[in-house]
Chains A and B, each alone.
Chain A
């Protein structure tokens, strides 16, 4: 008789790979799952807008102005979030409005991230005169009132989507530069950078293969915070009438359009306002969570 060895399930003893450890740490982190969850829903909403919006966000129906949302006694499922001053479906406008926020938020972050990281890494790596000049540039940038200058430039140069993105991108790189500068200073003092210099690596190579990979975690955290910052600025510009132009839906613009009606129907401003709040909150939570997981020592 052949005895069959009992089947052992020894998965408990195999140490989890660093990658899966990291993954489980990420998935068990409350603010990452909540923030990331909301953000993914919003991104999907923006991408799939034409397929999930129940109505055309631009089609007007003046006989159906300011219909109440479904939770009011007069609300119907035909327009779950009611209609706006032109009788356009509010839910559809909300779904399409996510596009403006996310597009501007991410694009402005990419531009500002590129500018800020370049300046920060150069200042941190070279130190001395370079650091002095870049620190001065950062100080100057911080003294420029962001909203005011953004309003002035957008008003004069014309308010197209791309101008809003470029203006915001060129204004909000300061945090990237400050954080990347000090992160680079820390890494630069480490032995492996000295070793790389000793074996004759070029400066460019040291920056790209020794410095940058080691400041990526901090970079991701700042990037999330700056997306949120850019989204808030876009909303404020649109609210003041100088961001996204009607009839394109944007949440900041919808709050502004509903302002005249807010004393009678508070939901008109509450719906886009709360959506903006949730979006920015989710991105901030995600950023805080990533910082907790990657650099727990910086928690407070």
Chain B
């Protein structure tokens, strides 16, 4: 188990380093930080001065090594617009996004797992069709359109929920539903497929033949095994949702990483953009790493192969 964990950790670190390189190169290939830093209407001379001063004229790998050395000491540079260290900006905004992600995942799991289980218990029934409809609609409905629909219906017509800001817990309800609904179809399908497979297995037949109560068979024997793959899918989906928070946060004016990214993209604030991409990516890497470990812990076949 330890060897497996260390191996996966090595891969995770390598992925992290690759993404920091890709992010660094991609950003500098797409735009010129000197022009962004010099500001609008800067003369050619000013831009050239900025380029010299910040060393943007050096070869890109030297710039990267330089950046990486500083990043390892926790110094991610300064935001040119917010006039704050980038690490501080990220630390201020991350909790909102993590809370949004966690709530969205809760919403998705609460909706998807019971629906998936019921759909598996009664295939082709009314409940199975409803579950299928929810999944099909969820995959086709653009997140931003769904968010606006929620705002119009629950915020404006019914006046139940606030439509923007993050002053109270109520502000998180609609964004979590909008973001969580996006993850629901995949989790529901996997739960349903897993349950159907498990329910037809021999040990469930044995458990039933022993005369165990139906609920014991379902919850203690079947569901426990069927949700193992769901755990790792949930981790992956949470990672995707943190990335997708940029749309939701900009619509609901939640002050998290997504909204930060959205604001800094419009101002071409290079250091912050890079840090946000890297932060979101590292959350994803961490989540999938933990899911891998949990899976290996639950299923010994994985760690030996």
Which residue, of B140, B143, B276, has the highest number of chain A Cβ atoms within 10 A? Answer: B140
Does A71 count as interface, using CB distance less than 8 angstroms? no
Whether A236 contacts B261 by the Cβ 8 Å rule is no
> Which residues of chain B from 101 to 160 have a CB within 8 Å of any chain A CB?
136-137, 139-145, 148-149, 151-152, 156
Contact between chains at B265 and A155 (CB < 8 Å): yes
| B42 close to A (CB within 8 Å) | no
A284 to B186, CA, bound (A): 14
User: Is there a chain B Cβ closer than 8 Å to A19's Cβ?
Assistant: no
In chain A, positions 259-300 with a C-beta closer than 8 Å to chain B are 259, 262-263, 266, 269, 273, 276-278, 280-281, 284-285, 300
A153 touching B148, Cβ below 8 Å: no
| A152-B277 in contact (CB<8A) | yes
Are B27 and A152 in contact, with the CB atoms below 8 A? yes
A235 proximity list for chain B (CB < 8 A): 142, 144
State whether A145 and B280 are in contact (beta carbons under 8 Å apart), knowing that A139-B11, A140-B22, A252-B142 are contacts in the complex: yes
A281 touches B277 (CB 8 A): no
* Residue A136 at the chain B interface, CB threshold 8 Å: yes
Bound together, the chains give a CA A152 to CA B240 distance in angstroms of 17
Q: Which of B20-55 contact A (CB under 8 A)?
A: 22-23, 26-27, 30-31
Contacting residues, chain A, for B19 (C-beta < 8 A): 140, 143-144
Neighbouring A residues of B137 by C-beta, 8 Å: 277, 281
- B192: chain A residues at CB < 8 Å are 300
B234 within 8 A of A: no
Query: What residues of chain B lie closer than 8 Å to A255, measured between beta carbons?
Result: 142, 144-145, 148
Residues of A within 8 A of B142 (CB): 232, 235-236, 239, 252, 255, 273, 276-277, 280
A281 to B139, CA, bound (A): 8
Closest CB-CB distance, A30 to chain B, in whole Å?
13
Q: How far is the CB of A32 from chain B (nearest CB, A)?
A: 14
Grouping DSSP codes into helix (H, G, I), strand (E, B) and loop, the A interface class, with mixed when no group exceeds half, is helix
Contact A236 B144 (CB under 8 A): yes
Check B140–A144 contact: CB distance below 8 A.
no
A143 near B261 with CB under 8 A, answer no
The B254-283 residues at the A interface (CB cut-off 8 A) are 261-262, 265-266, 268, 273, 276-277, 280-281
Chain B positions within 8 Å of A, measured between CB atoms, are 11, 14-16, 18-19, 22-23, 26-27, 30-31, 136-137, 139-145, 148-149, 151-152, 156, 189, 192-193, 196, 236, 239-240, 242-244, 246-247, 250, 261-262, 265-266, 268, 273, 276-277, 280-281, 284-285, 288
Cα(A152)–Cα(B265), bound, Å: 6
14 new A-B contacts, CB < 8 A, other than A148-B246, A236-B247, A280-B141, are A142-B236, A143-B239, A143-B288, A145-B243, A145-B277, A151-B262, A151-B265, A152-B30, A155-B268, A157-B31, A236-B144, A240-B246, A240-B250, A280-B142
Interface of B is mostly: helix
Listed residue (B149, B262, B265, B285) with the most chain A CB atoms within 10 angstroms of its CB: B265
- Which residues in A have their C-beta under 8 angstroms from that of B143? 236
What total of chain A residues lie within 8 Å of the partner, measured CB to CB? 40
| CA–CA, A145 and B284, complex, Å | 9
- A136 and B14 in contact (CB under 8 A), knowing A145-B277, A157-B31, A263-B152? yes
28 A-B residue pairings within 8 Å (CB atoms): A143-B16, A143-B281, A144-B277, A144-B281, A145-B243, A145-B284, A147-B246, A148-B261, A148-B276, A148-B280, A149-B26, A149-B277, A151-B246, A155-B265, A155-B268, A156-B27, A156-B31, A236-B143, A236-B144, A255-B144, A255-B145, A266-B152, A273-B145, A273-B149, A277-B145, A278-B140, A281-B137, A300-B189
Q: Out of B30, B141, B148, B268, name the residue touching A269 (CB < 8 Å).
A: B148
Q: Do B145 and A155 touch (CB < 8 A)?
A: no
Minimal Cβ-Cβ distance residue in A for B143: A236
Closest to B16 in A: A143
Residues from chain B with a CB closer than 8 A to the CB of A242 are: 265
Residues in chain B near residue A239, CB distance under 8 A: 142, 144, 247
By beta carbon, the residue of chain A nearest B139 is A284
Going nearest first, the 10 A-B pairs with the smallest beta carbon separation are: A145-B243, A156-B31, A156-B30, A273-B145, A281-B140, A280-B140, A300-B193, A157-B30, A145-B280, A155-B265
Cα A198 to Cα B193 with chains together (Å) = 40
Query: Is A146 at the interface (CB under 8 A from chain B)?
Result: yes
Q: State A292–B190 Cα separation when bound (angstroms).
A: 17
| Complex contact B156–A143 (CB within 8 A) | no
Query: With an 8 A cutoff between CB atoms, is A228 at the interface?
Result: yes
Residue of A nearest to B247 (CB): A236
Is A140 a contact of B18 with CB atoms below 8 Å? yes
Bound complex: CA A156 to CA B25 (Å):
13
The residue on B at minimum CB distance from A276 is B142
Known contacts A228-B140, A284-B140; is-contact A273 B156 (Cβ 8 Å) = no
Alpha-carbon separation in the docked complex, A269 to B156 (Å): 15
Given contacts A140-B22, A156-B268, A239-B144, contact A147 B243 (CB under 8 A): yes
Q: Given the complex, which residues of B lie within 8 Å of A262, measured CB to CB? A: 148, 151-152
